[in-house]
Amino acid sequence: MSRTEPNSTFPFGQKIVWQPNPQWTAESNLQRFMNRCGIPDYDTLYQRSIADIAWFWEAALEDLDIRFYQPYKQIVDLSEGPAFPKWCVGGKMNIIHNCLDKRQETELAGKIALRWEGEEGTVKTYTYAQLYREVNRCANGLRALGLGKGDAIGLYMPMIPELAVAFLAIIKIGGVILPLFSGYGPSAVSTRLADADARALFTTDGAYRRGKKTPMKAIADEALADAPTVERVIVVERVGLEDAPWQEGRDLRWEDFMAGKPEQAETEQTDAEDVLMIIYTSGTTGRPKGAVHTHCGFPIKSAQDMFHPMDLKRDDVMYWMSDMGWMMGPWEVFGTLLIGATMVFYDGAPDYPQVGRLWEMVERHRISHLGVSPTLIRSLKTHGVEPLQKHDLSSLRMVGSTGSPWDPESWLWLFENVLESRKPIINYSGGTEISGGIVCGNFFKPLKPCAFSGPVVGMDCDVVDEAGRPLRNAVGELVIRQPWIGMTRSFWGDRQRYLDSYWSRWENIWVHGDFAAIDEDGLWYILGRSDDTIKVAGKRLGPAEVEAIVNAHPAVTESAAIAVPHPLKDNEVVVFCVLKTGEQPSEELRKEIMERVIAELGKPLKPREIRFAEALPKTRNAKVMRRVIRAAYLGEDPGDVSSLEDPATVEAIRNAN
């Protein structure tokens, strides 16, 4: 916390460290948009975007050159209330037309659409024309199997080119994409396939992870025993596992599936509001929630977020570290293709076989927009700046971040050493149900460590207290006051759960479930899930407030703060720390960390205890699973752990000392 004002509590008291570059803002997509609309400045644009959502989203569709087979009659219909808007009413379109089809008679046909790198070092590229032809062949293969409009098709694959092809081909035939995290076990896969009544599944024999071959087809087969609607399985041979199981009559090799298929295929004309994708999120309780997204929803919001706040241009290269089973995978595909930019897929660990692998990729692929998690940066910075200095990172225009809250020390390390204190960290937070960001950095507003510039244009959001009143310079609930084009249309087969999850606290207000704050300069901060609330003797804490203090200790790599019950104070804080390589747990170190927390937060918020753990339970996209940590500490059932990258980390919490 050395970069903050004395005696401040994170996130307040930070100093501005980055100012917008006037040339960059003048040349930005957003400035061009404002010029065309006759809008004088950013603040005026934002206010108009929420004062008239119909005007804004219609203007955004035009700015992105989204084309319809049949024009819509009304941009938004709110007759069923803000929880159930209808967008592009009466319009006919298929988003694949805007991603690929319309590019084929333009100069973009020869431009690289996809750059892929495997952990083993293989690199492949696909132009817009090549990707279009492969997608058409795959679409023809699906139709030859009797699959078509409205059929749900699962994708259980690592980040390989065939995944992009299959993803886009399902859209081409009017099917419903069902992306599944490549690290799921059998139960998680079968639950989602069965819930969506999937008819087919794409998978691989296995995947590489840190040089090892991990099976996927065997897991898929076990899952399919409980997913009876799946009739066909298309298998890509990725790693050459000789013992991968096979079921004749159901399973089909990718090469055979694609063989002889024509390179031209008709695009299914769909309604703008036809279901495009069901993407599942894991809740703290109950079965996974299937967020329903449509052709004119998720893809448009994804592209608008990239185009406006992130300023992705056609000559740019986007690589956001993710898996297709998480929101940022589909987000990257839709956004880059709708803009006409280049996307990067990487199948492997970002620090293997050497810690500089990520920076090596930035140089090799000339990545301009890199998306990481704060957790990854906390890990990489323990190796110092030498891995960075070996590579040319000048192609970067920004680094984006999502997944978990920042601590100031890690944010500043990235800003100073990777971005030369000149280029912005575009902090980004929203969710699967949002189709992108609620709040985001941009090229127009100054930045403080860990901050967001503010809401994404078109997102009418606020921070409120427990009574629903606007709140400044304090931590409150993040809410959204009006619908936006990318919002989920409900949960698959569970309308009431959707209403209960987001619309039940205050009338006609979306409550997102995140703690947030707006400081004295109008900069925003996301401080963790509000269901991770630490409430001690009436004072509410976001876990990030505690973790930022702990992570600033030079011996600590990362930490997680949880609330545990206390008979008088409601809750107490317990902190789990992962130490840097070479550091050893000791009572002296425990005391030092404790004293830091007390000095920053005060004695009433003194943690019950500080424990040292070998690792923290995280998803593969690096979200720390605090509810799992809490359950392990209290000896309770951790619930759904299907999204954990390494289930053994639960035991690491139980063994923490």
* SS3 sequence of 16-61: CCECCCHHHHHCCHHHHHHHHHCCCCHHHHHHHHHHCHHHHHHHHH
pLDDT greater than 60 at residue 516: yes
269-284 pLDDT, tens digit each? 999 999 999 999 864 4
Question: Residues 458, 302: contact at Cβ < 8 Å?
Answer: no
Would you call 566 helix, strand, or coil by DSSP?
A: strand
Give the containing element (helix H, strand E) for 510.
strand 510-518
| 531-554: average pLDDT | 76
**Look-up of token digits 């809401």:** 455
Confidence of residue 531 (pLDDT cuts 50, 70, 90): low
Chain centroid, CA 485 distance in Å: 18
Instruction: Give the pLDDT confidence score for residue 3 in this predicted structure.
Output: 32
Instruction: Give the pLDDT confidence score for residue 5 in this predicted structure.
Output: 33
**Look-up of token digits 């992705």:** 312
Q: Please give the Cα distance from 406 to 654 (Å, whole number).
A: 25
Which range is least confidently modeled, 171-175, 181-185, 343-347? Answer: 181-185
569-589 pLDDT, tens digit each? 778 899 999 999 899 999 999
Check if 101-258 and 533-654 are the same fold: no
CA dihedral 407, 408, 414, 415 (to 10 degrees): 150
Q: Report the CATH number of the 101-258 domain.
A: 3.40.50.980
Whole-Å CA distances, 199 to 149, 178, 230, 232, 294: 12, 11, 4, 7, 19
Q: Please give the Cα distance from 631 to 648 (Å, whole number).
A: 14
Which range is least confidently modeled, 318-322, 591-595, 652-656? Answer: 652-656
Q: Where are the domains of the chain?
A: 22-93+273-528, 101-258, 533-654
438-455 pLDDT, tens digit each? 999 999 999 999 999 999
Question: Residues 368, 397: contact at Cβ < 8 Å?
Answer: yes
Would you call 356 helix, strand, or coil by DSSP?
A: coil
Instruction: Give the pLDDT confidence score for residue 509 in this predicted structure.
Output: 97
| 633-653: average pLDDT | 80
Would you call 95 helix, strand, or coil by DSSP?
A: helix
The mean of the pLDDT values for the chain is 92
Q: Please give the Cα distance from 425 to 396 (Å, whole number).
A: 11
Which range is least confidently modeled, 331-335, 374-378, 508-512, 569-573? Answer: 569-573
Most confident residue range from 285-289, 631-635, 640-644? 631-635
pLDDT greater than 90 at residue 1: no
Instruction: Give the pLDDT confidence score for residue 538 in this predicted structure.
Output: 61
Question: Residues 25, 31: contact at Cβ < 8 Å?
Answer: yes
Q: Which residues pair with 201 in a beta bridge?
A: 154, 233
Instruction: Give the pLDDT confidence score for residue 600 in this predicted structure.
Output: 76
Instruction: Give the pLDDT confidence score for residue 281 in this predicted structure.
Output: 81
Spatial CB neighbours of 101, under 8 Å, sequence gap ≥ 6: 132, 267
Instruction: Give the pLDDT confidence score for residue 528 in this predicted structure.
Output: 76
48-94 pLDDT, tens digit each? 999 999 999 999 999 999 999 999 999 999 999 999 999 999 999 99
366-387 pLDDT, tens digit each? 999 999 998 899 889 999 999 9
Residue bearing the bigger pLDDT, 154 or 7: 154
Instruction: Report the sign of the C-alpha dihedral through residues 415, 417, 421, 426, in that order.
Output: negative
pLDDT greater than 60 at residue 558: yes
30-42 pLDDT, tens digit each? 999 999 999 999 9
Instruction: Give the pLDDT confidence score for residue 8 in this predicted structure.
Output: 43
Instruction: Give the pLDDT confidence score for residue 620 in this predicted structure.
Output: 65
Task: Indicate the CATH number of 22-93+273-528 among 2.40.40.20, 3.30.950.10, 3.40.50.12780, 3.40.50.300.
Answer: 3.40.50.12780
CATH architecture of the domain with range 533-654: 2-Layer Sandwich (3.30)
Confidence of residue 533 (pLDDT cuts 50, 70, 90): low
Instruction: Give the pLDDT confidence score for residue 287 in this predicted structure.
Output: 72
Q: Please give the Cα distance from 620 to 112 (Å, whole number).
A: 28
